[in-house]
Structure 1
Amino acid sequence: MAETASAETTGAVSGGLRSVLRLEGLALFAGMTLLYFLWGGPWWLYVVLFLSPDLSFLGYLAGAKIGAWTYNVMHSTVIPLGMLTVGFGFAPPLVLSLALIWLAHIGFDRALGYGLKYSTGFGFTHLGKIGKQANG
């Protein structure tokens, strides 16, 4: 009998908890976009930079392990939250704008179900399988 992979064996969250994490992503996206609006950052910068963290996909050209690492660095909240703290604390406008845009992007991706990647391949995330892997 073939064993099917469960959330416990793949490391992916499932069920209602997955929905909660995706809603958190939506809240992060909406909150950071609202803060950006209130901050008065230039919208041309938001539009130009919003998808820039996805350039980390290029890491997959060097293999799944490096691709997952580069994607996860650019899609973890650690660096932009540090930048946000510096931005609010010392008010350098560009740092604050970059942090808000970056966090909005991360929230948008998480709301869509694009989680942090495992080194087994692009389609294997902490929020479950995506792409061709989701159907397989």
Structure 2
Amino acid sequence: MTTTTTTTAATTTAADTPDDLTAPTGDHAVTHVPRDLWTWTTPEGRVLSAAAGIGALTAATLLGGPATWTFWAGLIGPDVAFLKGLGEERAGQGALPRSAVGLYNGLHNPVAPASVLALGLATLSQPLVVGGLGWFAHIALDRAFGFGLRRPDGHIH
């Protein structure tokens, strides 16, 4: 009698495999990876992100951006999250402290600047439009350079 064994290879997708295979396990395991629908994880997506960021930056500049505080607040403001965790323990090189992850992800969610931009357009408020464009440019350029949302352990998603 002959026994035949069939082995099937398991297929994994990007959703099944974490980007950082050295992510901590046990008590420090990543339990939730933030959903980031932005296309920055592909070369084409990075080019699209760069184009969107440069377009938003150009539009904000043409609307008088560099002369307004809302332009600079939108452009630099989202990185205030880096200040939140100063002096705290990090999960590794390049990671944010866990306490700063929620603020960072909230400030780097494109829904927020889109809302500011929409409110500015609805109320014809140049400062809000410029601030929303600056904020959107920040997020788009971050994605173009490969900086996405952060996982709960502080590493880039």
Residue 17 of structure 2 corresponds to 9
- Of 94, 101, 106, which aligns to 2:127? 94
Aligned pairs for 1:73-112 (under 5 A) are 73-112=106-145
- 1:54 equivalent in alignment to 2:79: yes
> Relative to structure 1, is the Cα distance of residues 17 and 98 closer, same or farther in structure 2, using a 3 angstrom cutoff?
closer
1:59/1:71 contact within 8 Å kept: no
Would you say the 8 A contact 1:59–1:68 is kept in 2? no
Deviations 1:11-30 (A, max 9, x none): 579xx952233223212211
Matched to 1:21, the amino acid is G
Q: CA RMSD, aligned part only? A: 2.7
> TM-score by structure 1 length?
0.71
Q: Report which of the two has the higher share of helix.
A: 1
Matches within 5 A, 1:34-53: 34-38=58-62, 40-45=63-68, 48-49=72-73, 50-53=75-78
Unaligned runs of 5+ in 2: 1-12, 21-35, 90-96
TM-score (norm 2): 0.62
1:100 Cα offset (Å): 0.6
| Contact 1:59/1:66 (<8 A) preserved | yes
Distance in 1 of aligned mates of 2:109 and 2:153: 18
For 2:133, the aligned partner's letter is L
